[in-house]
Amino acid sequence: MPPHRALEVYEILSEILEQLSPSRRPLPQKESTYSRLSTRRSLSSSARVCTLWSDVALKVLWAERGSVKPLLNLFSSFDAQSALRQRTQVNFQDLLDVSSLT
């Protein structure tokens, strides 16, 4: 059965999928993690429905990123713990350098 013709109109489809956007509706703190994950999964599934939906769903899906960590995890050489240790060591070293000036 073919989809409704209204879903072939970019503006209508965009408005529908943007209703799934986490930024469009504030969520209670308790529900926010699960609801955001569920919403992102729904948008991801929508992006795979067909090429017509893909552009709109991906635009909404990637419009808001809470953290760059998931993006950095795509690189096999990225290690979050190592990056955190290096940052801490650099900051600590900066403190030592500043304290030696006095």
Please say if the pLDDT value at position 2 is more than 60.
Answer: no
What is the separation of C-alpha 63 from the centre of its chain, rounded to a whole number of angstroms? 7
Tell me what pLDDT residue 89 has: 53
- Would you list the domain boundaries of the chain? 1-64, 66-102
Query: In which band, very low, low, confident or very high, does the pLDDT at 39 lie, cut at 50, 70 and 90?
Result: confident
Please say if the pLDDT value at position 48 is more than 90.
Answer: yes
Are the beta carbons of 39 and 21 closer than 8 angstroms? yes
Residue 52 token pair: 């017509």
Q: Which residues contact 41 (CB under 8 A, 6 or more apart)?
A: none
The residue that leads in pLDDT, 64 or 16, is 16
Tell me what pLDDT residue 88 has: 52
